[in-house]
Every structure is written in C-alpha cells, then in structure tokens.
Structure 1
Amino acid sequence: MLLFLVIPLLFVTGTESSAPLLQTEDIIPGQYIVKIKSHDLVSEFREKMAEQSLKSMQSYGGIGHVKLLFSLEADPTVLVFELDYKSLTLVLSHPAVDYVEEDGTNQPDDDIIEHPDTYLQTQPPSNWGLDRINQEESTLDRNVSFFGNGFGVNIYVIDSGINDLHRDFECRALKAFDVFGSDGRDCKGHGTQVAGVAASKTWGVAKAASIHSVRTLDCRGIGRTSDMAAAIDWVTANAKAPCVATLSFSRKTSSLTIDNAVKGLAESGCLPVAAGTNNVQEVASDFNACTRSPARSPYAITVGAIAWSNDEKASFTRFGVCLDIFAPGHFIRTTSSDGNYVTASGTSLAVPFVAGVAALHLASGMSTQDVRKRILEDAIICTIPDAGKGSPNRLLYTEPGAY
C-alpha cells in the first residue's frame, strides 16, 4: 500500500514561490479546493479573502472574483472557493496556502450493472455472495448465516442516498446528511443497493446494524470532489461509534482532498471501506486501482470484486497493490430504491460485504484497528485464480452461524 506514495497524484503546476495547483479531469470551471497549512492560519486567510471579495465588487477594484462556498466541519483548513484567474493567482501566492486542487466531478464506482430477473434462472443462487463469505471452500453449502448480526453498530453509506422506508431495512435506516440540502431521497438507486448488501434483513450481512444515509451523489450518480470530501468530513465530525463507512465511488484521477478526508475519517475511529472501482473503458493501463481516490488510500480497506464462478476476479474490477481484499460483486441480489429488489454487478457491491463483516466484529467490542487486522487475517488466501498484478490474493471470510 505504501507504494502509492510514488504514484503521481495529479497534474501539478506552480512555482517555488507559490502553492501547487493540482489539476484534474472533468473540472468544474472556476471552482477550487484550497488547503491551508494549519488551523491557526485559517482565520487570517479567510479575512484576507473576505477583503478581496469586497474589493471585487467595486468597479474600480481591479480584483478578480472571490466567493467562499463552504469549509469543512471536522477539518476547517479545507475551503471551497469560486475564483477567477486573478484571484486564483492571489490564492496560490498566499503563504498560508498548502495547495489548491481543481474541483471536479466524480461518480459511483463507474456504476452498477443491473440484470433482469430472468438471469436468476440460469445464474447462481440469489444469495450466493452471503453463502460464499462464510465458508473456505468455493462449493456453496447453502448456509447464509453469520456469527453475530451487527446490533449497535452504525454503517454510514456515503452515496446517492437510501430509501429508508424499504421494508427490508426494518426502520433501521436513517437519513443523516445530504450535501444538496435536500431530503436524502435516493433518486439514483446506487446507495440503496449498497445499503442492502451491508445490512438489509434478507440480503444483508449485518442484519441488525443501523444504517445512515449520507447523500453526496445526485440523481444521475454524479457528484463533486468537494461534496464528496464534505460528506466524508461530515461523518468524521458527527458519526456515532462504533462506525464503519462505505465509499463506493470513484474519481477518474486521484484526489489529495479525498485522500486527506479518508485519513481524517479513519483517525476519528470510523473504519472506511472503499471500492477498488470498475474499469468500463477496457484500457489495460487504467486497471490499476492506485490511480483512483479513495481506492488508493492506505487508511481504507480497499475492495476488489470476484465473479460467482470459481472465485475468479470479476472482469470489470481493478487490480494492484492498493487493493486489500476481494469480495463477491457479481450477480448480487439486493434492495432497490423503488421498494423492491434487484440483481446487479459492480465493485460497489463488494464494498458492503466487507463493511457488513466489519460491523459484525465491531459489535463484539473490537476496535476499528483490530477489525481491519482481523478481516485481513481471516481472509481465504490463494483461492482467486488470477487476482491481477500486485493484488493480494485474499477473499473475504467470516465465521458462519448455526445452519
């Protein structure tokens, strides 16, 4: 995992006398994430920007556009601004600034592929993922029970929202935070599917855990880097312990802002579980999970997906040293946002299997550090025929309950 530090973060521009500008793909024109070097410099910097903002409104000022959109709660050294070229130059030259990152759009783990119900007649048992993770052999034994149920643990699903009224959540799902200031409704469906694998009554691992919706993706499944960081930061500031968080989303590039937010989340005592992400572009050089955030974060458990047949790595999942473990992610039955159920595939759905198992362990009183260690140590090794270059050959395992 430490190898990710030598991978280029983003395109970087800057001079010796100015802070670096971290460039990205799918930029939001004129919107930037500004990182201040330390907490004691934030007030002075904000006062300076407020002064420049007032000047920008004067016809004689000659100062560029400056508008503070918001700052993070747990980490107030991160601020999001609207800036034009003049004001960007001013910000980059300010001695309090550590770096500036272009804000951009991100999306759920290159999205989940839904399958018609007719697939169920010829494809694996609908609960094969639950069946696979509680046994060491690949031949399914139809035991889908687990030792424990996650009662008392809080699972934060940072995603597109959750249909909290779905009958399979049994009133255990709550709308916690919505970056859009809306009601947290899942108009995309992605978040409800992830939550269903983590903790729904029928298809979930931790069937008694509390589920908290943290919405950061819109109805198209699209979100901003700044909003994703804000959602992670909100969990850092407000989560109830014990806590695990699912991060089934991806940037097309790495993001230092998201990496730092995941680090803060982990250090707060909440366990982040991130998607190794899908590759839908079929570009071999782009299959490495270390090129994406939050997949590359060493503070998260980063998950790849296996297919239902012979423990093979799913064709769509990425590989590399930034992965920590694999879990089922192919033809997974779960909850849907319309109140029904759906069969779907995607690395996004491998994440909640791991988050659910983490919840089982957290419910027993283990610390998040010990849970991470336990998950990796309990994993079935050398069962994936070709895990991909640099990938750990580990498959998720947890103790079965009574059959």
Structure 2
Amino acid sequence: MIIYIHSSFVVATKTSERFIAAKMKFLLVTLLAAVASAAFAPLRTARERIEGSYIVVLKDGESLTDAVKTLKSSPKFSSFKGRINKVYGSVINGFSATLNEQALGFVRSLDNVKYVEEDGIVRASSVASWGLGRIDQRYLPLDHIYNPPGTGAGVTVNVIDTGITYTHVDFGGRAEPGFDFAGGSGEDCNGHGTHCAGTVGGRTYGVAKCVTLKSVRVLNCFGSGTFSDVIAGVDFTARDCGGGRCVASMSLGGSKSSSVDNAVANAVSKGVVVVVSAGNRNDTACNYSPAGEPTAITVGATQSDDKRSFFSNYGSCVDLFAPGSAITSAWYLSETDSNTISGTSMACPHVAGAAALLLQRGVSAGDVKSTIVSEATKGVVINPGSCSPNEFLYVE
C-alpha cells in the first residue's frame, strides 16, 4: 500500500510537473509576444492604402535630422531596401518612406518612432457664380450682386490642390508657384485647382479679388494623390507663410488619417488659417481627413435654394455651409476658360476667400474661425443634416 500510494504520488507529481511546465511555457510565449508587441511602434491603417508606402512619425523631442541620417546609413535598412522619400519637420516630426515587410518591422522597432501610418489615397472633393451673390446677403431671393467689404490685398492663399493655371486672365498675374509634389512648376493639368483658385481670388469669380494665390500642387492630373504628398504641401505652407497673413484652401479629402490631421493642426498652431471641404459622401464629415480636424474650418455645400447639396457631408465636424452646387469659375484649358461644377470643393474656397478678407480687416489668424462662425447667417440652411450647425457664410 505504501509503495502503491507512493507510486500514485509520484505519477501525480509527474503529471503536475508536465502541467506546470506546459502552463509556464504558454505564459512565457504570451509574455514574449506581449513584450515584442510593446516594443513595436503602432501601425495605423488607411482605408485605401498604397502598397509599400508609409508615414513615419517620431516621438516628441526626437531629432528628425539624426533619425533620417541614421536610417540612411543603416546597413540593415539598406539591406531591407527601405527608402526615405519626403522629410517633413514643420507640421509633423517625421517622413514618408517606401518599406517592404522587413523594413517596416525594422522601422517600427526603433525606440524613437512614435507610430507608423499606412499612406492612403486622397481625392479632390468635386462631384461655379450665383455663390458670390449669395454670401453677401442674409436671405433669399438672390439679388445677383456682390459688393465685397475688401479685396484681400496683402494676404496669401495657398491653394493645396491640382495646381493653378497661372496665365488665366482672371488671376491678373497674382498666381504664382509654390510647391509641386512631382517636382514641377505647379501648373494645373486637371482644372480643379484653377477652379478653386478662381473662387478664392479671381477678378471675375473670386471672393477676395486681390489676394496672392500660390499653387501648392499635391494632386495629380486625375485629381487624386496621397496622404504623404498632402502632408508635404501642408508642411511647405507652414514654412512658407506661417506667422504671416496666410490661408490654406484644401478642397480635398480621404479616409481618416492621424498624420494628415496632426499636420493641419500644427499648421494652424503656426498661424495658418486652414479651410477644408467637408467631403461629398452624404456622410458625417468626422469620418474623413482633414474634414474631421477640429482646428480647421470645415465647409459643407449648399444649392442656390439654400438646401444642403445632396452630396455634402454633414455633422458636428462641419463648421458652416457655403455655396457648392453649380458654381462657375476659372478653368485650365485656356487663359479665358470657365467651367461650372459642383462639390464641397467649391464651397471651401468661398470660405477661404472670406478668411482672407478678415485677415485684411485686421482679424488675427487665431480669431478667424470664430469670427466667420459668429458672423454667419443662422438658420437658413434647409436640411443641414444630423448634428450639423445651421450656419451659412456671410461676408460683410
């Protein structure tokens, strides 16, 4: 009995040892996985990702120059065929890069990396002018007269878009090159940017008829682009005119992007008034970038009868509405060409022009957004959408 009991005890002990060993192994693997996961910077996804293209954001206080230099000289980074593309520095502490799976893992393992985000697609917010006559009167019917309270002289509006046709007669020599993602001159090969620039500051079609218009080309000839190029355009704008009397007009958008939103917020903190289109999906604007960034002025679109345009995004992230359906403005095919199109893209430059008028009036960059909203006409937008403010642009 004693031997049997002892034997039973020994068997039980071996079984227990096996159980404990298996459990310890499981816990060790789990712990190692957790440690490995914790050691990697977070990877943020994009709805429409660009294969192999990423935005790398460093931790606060980390040297961007040192980080880029170290990576470029790293044999491991080179062996993984990693490539650094655009280096930012003004609006986000980071860079864009082309990375395969190994290079991505290597970059995410670096101690100075805050997060990595998949690069994604952005598009022009198109689906030009009764709009001018509407924004300087409180209520319908339209009088088809526009008497602006200023001209925007001395203010620069950076049109972050498809470029500008500089020689168009409506610009009177006030349009100039700024930045081109493709390394070109910033000339428009799509029309969208020229149209928006015309609404901002064209002699015939513009809200602020004497502003300086600067081309910041971040979208291609098809009207699409990438998060990384949009950030580069915002980065240029912050360096080029931050602290001066400057507006950024961004009639574009994509899926939610922390990097794009952070870039816009940092540009605003540097004194740039940023105006963005709400988007054309008849959806809440909060789901998109840069429309959902709270420091920007986000603009929804209306028709000539004051109804919200059927395509316009809406919701709590929209700050106000402006004319956006059937807007006539300058076009890119000739020096005298015009076109009539619709979109929140067309609403955005109305507000960008109004922002330029306020800066000329002496309103500080930090107060432009609150002034535009406080001076807006209340309660005239029909069916503004769930949680939308019923505010309509008014220029006085």
Q: Distance in 2 between matches of 1:192 and 1:257?
A: 27
1-structure distance, mates of 2:47, 2:191: 25
Match of 1:101 in 2: 117
**Deviation larger for 138-147 or 73-82:** 73-82
Partner residue in 1 for 2:290: 294
CA–CA distance in 2 between the matches of 1:392 and 1:317? 14
Instruction: Tell me the distance in 2 between the aligned counterparts of 1:44 and 1:199.
Output: 41
- Structure number with greater Rg is 2
Q: Does 2:215 correspond to 1:220?
A: no
Distance apart, 1:44 and its partner CA: 4.5
Residue 327 of structure 1 pairs with residue 349 of structure 2: no
Residue aligned with 1:273, SS: strand
Equivalents in 2 of 1:288, 1:272: separation in Å?
Answer: 20
Where 2:114 maps in the other structure, the secondary structure is strand
After TM superposition, give the deviation of residue 375 of structure 1 in Å: 0.5
Contact 1:150 1:360 in 2 (8 A): yes
Inter-partner Cα distance in structure 1 for 2:144 and 2:196: 22
Looking at secondary structure, tell me which structure has more helix per residue. 2
Structure 2: runs of 5+ lacking an equivalent: 1-35
Q: How many residues align?
A: 358
Counterpart selection for 2:250 from 227, 247, 250:
247
Aligned counterpart, 1:346 = 343
| SS of the residue 1:40 aligns to | coil
Identity percentage of aligned residues: 37
Q: Cα offset for 1:48? A: 3.9
Match for 2:113: what amino acid?
A: V
Which deviations, in whole Å up to 9, do the C-alpha atoms of 1:44-72 show, x marking residues without a partner? Answer: 533442343x3465xxxxx5222111211
Query: Contact (CA 8 Å) 2:91, 2:264: kept in 1 or not?
Result: no
**CA distance in structure 2 between the partners assigned to 1:232 and 1:138 by the alignment:** 37
Match of 2:240 in 1: 238
- State the partner residue of 1:199: 201
Kept in 2, the 8 Å contact 1:233–1:264? The answer is: no
Please say if residues 127 and 144 of structure 1, whose CA atoms lie closer than 8 Å, have aligned partners that are also in contact: no
Q: Distance in 2 between matches of 1:104 and 1:47?
A: 26
Is residue 25 from structure 1 mapped to residue 47 from structure 2 by the alignment?
A: yes
* Residue 183 of structure 1: how far off its partner (Å): 1.5
Q: CA deviation at 1:137?
A: 1.1
| Residue 16 (structure 1) aligned to one of 24, 33, 38 | 38
Aligned residue number for residue 337 of structure 1: 332
The higher relative CO (CA closer than 8 Å, separation ≥ 6) is in 1
- Per mean C-alpha deviation after superposition, the further-off stretch among 315-324 and 64-73 is 64-73
Post-superposition offset of 1:365: 1.6
Determine the structure 2 residue equivalent to 1:385: 382
TM-score by length of 1: 0.86
User: Given that residues 91 and 262 in structure 2 are in contact (C-alpha distance below 8 angstroms), is that contact kept between their aligned partners in structure 1?
Assistant: no
**For structure 1, which segment, 294-303 or 358-367, has the greater mean C-alpha deviation from structure 2 after superposition?**
358-367
* Mapped contact 2:179–2:215 kept (Cα < 8 A): yes
Residue 398 of structure 1 deviates from its aligned partner by: 1.3
Structure 1, unmatched stretches of 5+, are 1-13, 58-62, 114-125
Equivalent position SS for 1:16: helix
Change in CA separation of 1:151 and 1:135 when aligned onto 2, cut-off 3 Å: same
Q: Which residue of 1 aligns with 2:136?
A: 134
CA contact (8 A) 2:92 2:266 kept: no
Contact in 2 for aligned 1:159/1:191 (Cα 8 Å)? yes
Change (3 A) 1:73 1:238: farther
Equivalent residue in structure 1 for 2:86, among 66, 70, 73? 70
Match for 1:50: what amino acid? K
- Select 2:169's aligned residue among 167, 181, 184: 167
The 8 Å contact of residues 160 and 186 in structure 1, kept in 2 or not, is answered as: yes
18-27 or 346-355, which deviates more: 18-27
RMSD of aligned C-alpha atoms?
Answer: 1.6
The AA in structure 2 aligned to 1:328 is P
Please tell me the residue identity of whatever aligns with 2:323: P
Q: Is the CA contact 2:200–2:208 (under 8 Å) kept in the aligned structure 1?
A: yes
Provide, for residues 207-257 of structure 1, a one-character-per-residue CA deviation record: whole Å limited to 9, x for no partner. Answer: 011111100111111111100000011000112720111010011x10111
